[in-house]
Amino acid sequence: MPADAVRRPISLALRVTVLVGLSTTLLLLAFAWGVERSIELHFARMDLDSLATTWRAVDAALQLRDPAQRQHRLRDAVGDRRDLVLRVSDASGRMLFASDGPQLPVADSRAARAPALDALQLWQAGGHSWRGVLLRAPGGERVVLARAIDFHLSYLDRLRSALWAGTLLASLISVLLARLAVQQGNAPLRRISARMRDIGSEHLDARIDPAQVPVELADLVAAFNAMLERIERGYERLRGVSVDIAHELRTPVTNLRTQTQVALSRARPVDAYREVLYSNLEEFERMSAMISDMLFLAQSEHAQPAHDDVELAAEVRALFEYFEAWADEQGVALRLHGDARVCGDRAMLRRALSNLLRNAVHHSARGAAVEVTLAADAQRVRVEVCNTGAAIAPQHLPHLFERFYRADPSRRRNGEGAGLGLAIVKSIVEMHRGTVAARSADGLTCFSIEVPAPRR
């Protein structure tokens, strides 16, 4: 048997049934015990009342001085009752009166002044059970007074048997009813499970209505619907990425195939072949860059950033030096304002800043400037990269950070990247629990990122 099958937990239905059965059985046992004790105490009080009545007659008889009258009154106190035993002896142990009945094995103990519950004793004698008391009369006489309780004990035995049998039967019935109730109570779970099984990749938009399930399952259904929504978004994103990758690769692969077919269609000079190879190399480099960016995106979505103390102004100045030659060629000035520090992954933050600067320089008008502004407060650190150039239409702004998105599709083959630079920026910033934004108006385009300020 597999180990996981051995460790499989007990079903909830069985757990609830067992717990209900045990709880009911314990309650019934407690009730039966209480009933038995109550009746037993009731019989003891009845015996006590009977003994107290007899004791009052015995006490009155013992106060008589005439022995003959005393004997007569003691005999009258007992009468012809065979279920009553009376023994009276003086202080020296001499028997003064003894009714019919067995000799009770009374142990030497402290005699009570009057019958009371805590003074009652049980004896076995003559094949019968007796409940009685050992008393001390005011004149010093020692009195043993008891009555037979065989009927009471027989009744208690029958009652006890009936109670145990009833408890067992009621427990079995309660277990069966609990099982039926649990099965009925689990019906919504079975319906939800069946609904979940029906949801496949082609029906990820399906949801379970929380209003159609019990209140106890509403949180479970809400969590399941939220999970389905996340899966649906991830599935749609994956499908979109797959389509985008196929679309992005189709053009360079088609170009490579066409150029190669044309080059091989007839004999050509060596320089012509070299030109074709250089052209193919450019396509390969673009494809390699796109693949590298895709791998970086995939890794950054699940990576944990380092916690470096990053001085953003120093990183921006280093990038200015890197882009300086290209910016001079484009006729674009690079300017930095402010200073800020963040706690994050230095290499990834440099990659995000580099992508924003490259994008700004590339789309700046000649003679304009790229402005980088750093600002910080107690909660957030803000980096804004602005350039002057062609404005971006408002309908494109919400999509600029999506993978493979270009505001101007005609630039797809003009030597630009694959449209992943801003998507990488967004992924890096979100990894640092930050946000990205873009705005464009009157020829000024600004991309901003905000990340939490470092703790002090």
pLDDT value at residue 444: 92
Residue 256 and residue 322 in one domain: no
Whole-prediction pTM: 0.52
Residue 297 and residue 334 in one domain: no
pLDDT value at residue 368: 92
The shares of helix, strand and coil residues in the chain, as percent rounded to the nearest 5, are: 55, 15, 25
Residue 3 pLDDT exceeds 70? no
* 341 is a domain residue: yes
Q: Decide which of 302, 332, 354 is a domain's last residue.
A: 302
pLDDT in tens, 192-217: 888 888 887 777 778 888 888 888 88
DSSP class per residue in 17-29:
HHHHHHHHHHHHH
* 20 is a domain residue: yes
Highest mean pLDDT among 2-16, 95-109, 125-139, 348-362: 348-362
Query: Nearest CA to 145 among 97, 214, 108?
Result: 97
pLDDT value at residue 375: 94
pLDDT in tens, 404-439: 777 665 444 444 556 788 888 998 898 889 999 999
Query: Which residue range(s) make up the domain with 388?
Result: 306-452
Query: Nearest CA to 87 among 137, 50, 44, 38?
Result: 137
Residue 278 and residue 323 in one domain: no
pLDDT value at residue 108: 65
* 101 is a domain residue: yes
Residue 329 and residue 411 in one domain: yes
pLDDT value at residue 258: 86
* 192 is a domain residue: no
Q: Burial level of 385, CB count in 10 A (0-12/13-18/19+)?
A: buried
Q: What whole-number percentage of the chain has pLDDT above 90?
A: 26
Residue 160 and residue 60 in one domain: yes
pLDDT-derived band at 451 (thresholds 50, 70, 90) equals: very high
Residue 282 and residue 312 in one domain: no
> In the predicted model, what is the mean pLDDT of residues 294-313?
79
Residue 26 and residue 163 in one domain: yes
pLDDT value at residue 407: 66
pLDDT value at residue 413: 45
Q: Which two tokens stand for residue 185?
A: 């109570």
pLDDT value at residue 42: 92
Residue 319 pLDDT exceeds 90? yes
The more confident residue out of 258 and 449 is 449
Q: Decide which of 125, 148, 167 is a domain's last residue.
A: 167
Residue 22 and residue 136 in one domain: yes
Residue 288 and residue 314 in one domain: no
pLDDT-derived band at 313 (thresholds 50, 70, 90) equals: very high
pLDDT in tens, 72-112: 888 888 887 888 888 888 877 788 888 888 888 776 667 88
Residue 161 and residue 18 in one domain: yes
Q: What is the CATH number of the domain that holds 102?
A: 3.30.450
Q: Taking a C-beta distance cutoff of 8 angstroms, is the pair 67, 88 a contact? A: no
Sequence-separated (6 or more) residues with CB below 8 Å from residue 192:
208, 213, 217, 220, 221, 224
pLDDT value at residue 385: 96
Q: Taking a C-beta distance cutoff of 8 angstroms, is the pair 450, 382 a contact? A: yes
CA distance 127 to 59: 29
Q: Compute the mean pLDDT over every residue in the chain, rounded to the nearest whole number.
A: 84
3-state class (DSSP) for residue 51:
helix
> In the predicted model, what is the mean pLDDT of residues 281-293?
80
> In the predicted model, what is the mean pLDDT of residues 16-45?
90
pLDDT value at residue 64: 85
pLDDT value at residue 424: 86
* 360 is a domain residue: yes
pLDDT in tens, 124-147: 888 888 888 888 888 888 888 888
* 173 is a domain residue: no
Residue type at 400?
Answer: L
* 8 is a domain residue: no
Torsion, CA 165, CA 170, CA 176, CA 182, rounded to 10: -150
pLDDT value at residue 4: 52
Exposure of 313 in the CB half-sphere (CA atoms within 13 A): 10
* 251 is a domain residue: yes
CA distance 196 to 194: 5
pLDDT value at residue 418: 60
Q: What is the CATH number of the domain that holds 316?
A: 3.30.565.10
Residue 335 pLDDT exceeds 90? yes
Residue 121 pLDDT exceeds 90? no
Residues for the chain: how many in total? 456
CA distance 90 to 109: 16
Q: Which two tokens stand for residue 129?
A: 């059970």
Residue 2 pLDDT exceeds 70? no
Q: What whole-number percentage of the chain has pLDDT above 70?
A: 92
Full strand arrangement of the beta sheet holding 333-337: 333-337, 369-376, 380-388, 444-452, 435-441
CA distance 208 to 222: 8
> In the predicted model, what is the mean pLDDT of residues 45-59?
88
The DSSP code for 307 is -
pLDDT value at residue 158: 93
Residue 50 pLDDT exceeds 70? yes
Q: Taking a C-beta distance cutoff of 8 angstroms, is the pair 167, 32 a contact? A: yes
Q: Burial level of 324, CB count in 10 A (0-12/13-18/19+)?
A: exposed
Sequence-separated (6 or more) residues with CB below 8 Å from residue 414:
none
- List Cα–Cα distances, 442 to 390, 391, 392, in angstroms: 9, 7, 10
Residue 277 and residue 319 in one domain: no
Residue 161 and residue 294 in one domain: no
Q: What is the CATH number of the domain that holds 204?
A: 1.10.287
Count of domains for the chain: 3
